[in-house]
């Protein structure tokens, strides 16, 4: 089904692996189309509770495919940027959590892809950067917006304007990734986080993602009001009754995770 991705589902986890190692997993138009299809499948599959996104080989994704972009007209370039933005927006807003397992180079569109994930676990070998100004352009898949929101406006400007590439430890220090692990432990660490999240009430996880994503740009009072409205669905659910009963009975909760 996919020419540039490996897609598999196991025990409620969808594994999405960008698989163009000879091109450092660069984001061509075809790869973008396949990523959109894959994460649409993640969202629509009742057997999937969470996704792990990673790359094959030395790169997570080393950027957009410059060999494809170099001859694009302005209108064609804009169309590709919109396609890339649509992919990142989809990953960020699907109902289910997405963990980025950053195995290697995450540059340009690759860094933007990582930032679209709900959280990022990085291999010690990972490298991050937004080098677009070296090419005479700016990040076009959401990088100018997501990077400052993650690391702060000043650091976001610094990384975009200098095109500096940083290692995993620096990415962790500035808040670009949530955890750094040895390369051989990367997928296992991502699976551990995934299984922890999967053990929680699914309706609560979905509501938390929705409220955080949509509330972060609001003023605090509006955001808190939005949180209160979003709490209604989990509070009226069977999972809430089970979770509170289990707490009082000092036993693990048994949520409806399907």
Please state the rounded mean pLDDT for residues 137-165.
97
CB atoms within 10 A of CB 8: 9
pLDDT beyond 70 at 149: yes
Of the candidates 15, 36, 17, the residue with the CA atom closest to the CA atom of residue 89: 36
Query: Could you give the CA distance from residue 103 to residue 154 in angstroms, rounded to a whole number?
Result: 27
Average pLDDT, the chain: 96
Asked if 64 and 212 count as a contact pair (C-beta separation under 8 A), the reply is: no
Binning pLDDT at 50, 70 and 90, where does residue 240 land?
very high
Mean pLDDT of 54-67: 94
Token couple for 254: 């048994």
Q: Are 24 and 60 in contact (CB under 8 A)?
A: no
Interior angle at CA 192, CA 174 and CA 197, nearest 5: 85
Tell me the pLDDT tens digit for each residue of 131-147. Answer: 999 999 999 999 999 99
Q: What are the pLDDT digits (tens) for 66-118? A: 999 999 999 999 999 999 999 999 999 999 999 999 999 999 999 999 999 99
Per the listing, tokens 């929101």 go with 149
258: confidence class by pLDDT, cuts 50, 70, 90: low
The model's pTM: 0.95
Domains assigned to the chain: 5-198 (3.90.226.10), 202-248 (1.10.12.10)
- Residues serving a catalytic function are 112, 132
In the prediction, which pLDDT does 71 show? Answer: 92
> For the segment 9-18, what is each residue's pLDDT rounded down to a tens digit?
999 999 999 9
What gap in Å lies between CA 46 and CA 31, rounded to an integer? 24
pLDDT at 256: 80
**Residue 219 DSSP class:** -
């Amino acid at each position: 089904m996919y020419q540039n991705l490996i897609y598999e589902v196991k025990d409620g986890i969808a594994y999405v692996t960008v698989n163009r190692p000879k091109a450092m997993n660069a984001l061509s138009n075809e790869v973008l189309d396949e990523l959109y299809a894959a994460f649409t499948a993640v969202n629509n599959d009742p057997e999937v509770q969470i996704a792990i996104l990673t790359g094959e080989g030395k790169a997570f994704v080393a950027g957009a495919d410059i060999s494809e972009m170099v001859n694009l007209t302005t209108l064609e370039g804009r169309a590709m940027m919109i396609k890339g933005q649509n992919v990142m927006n989809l990953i960020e807003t699907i109902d289910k959590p997405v963990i980025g397992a950053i195995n290697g180079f995450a540059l340009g569109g690759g860094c933007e892809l990582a930032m679209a994930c709900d959280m990022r676990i990085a291999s010690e070998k990972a490298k991050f950067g937004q080098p677009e100004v070296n090419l005479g352009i700016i990040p076009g898949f959401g990088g100018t917006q997501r990077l400052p929101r993650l690391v702060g406006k000043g650091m976001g400007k610094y990384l975009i304007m200098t095109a500096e590439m940083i290692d995993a430890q620096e990415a962790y220090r500035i808040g670009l990734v949530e955890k750094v692990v040895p390369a051989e432990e990367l997928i296992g660490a991502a699976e551990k986080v995934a299984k922890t999240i999967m053990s929680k009430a699914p309706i609560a996880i979905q509501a938390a993602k929705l409220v955080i994503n949509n509330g972060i740009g609001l003023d605090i009072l509006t955001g808190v009001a939005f949180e209160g409205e979003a709490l209604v669905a989990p509070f009226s659910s069977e999972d809430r009754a089970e979770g509170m009963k289990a707490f009082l009975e000092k036993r693990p909760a048994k949520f409806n995770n399907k």
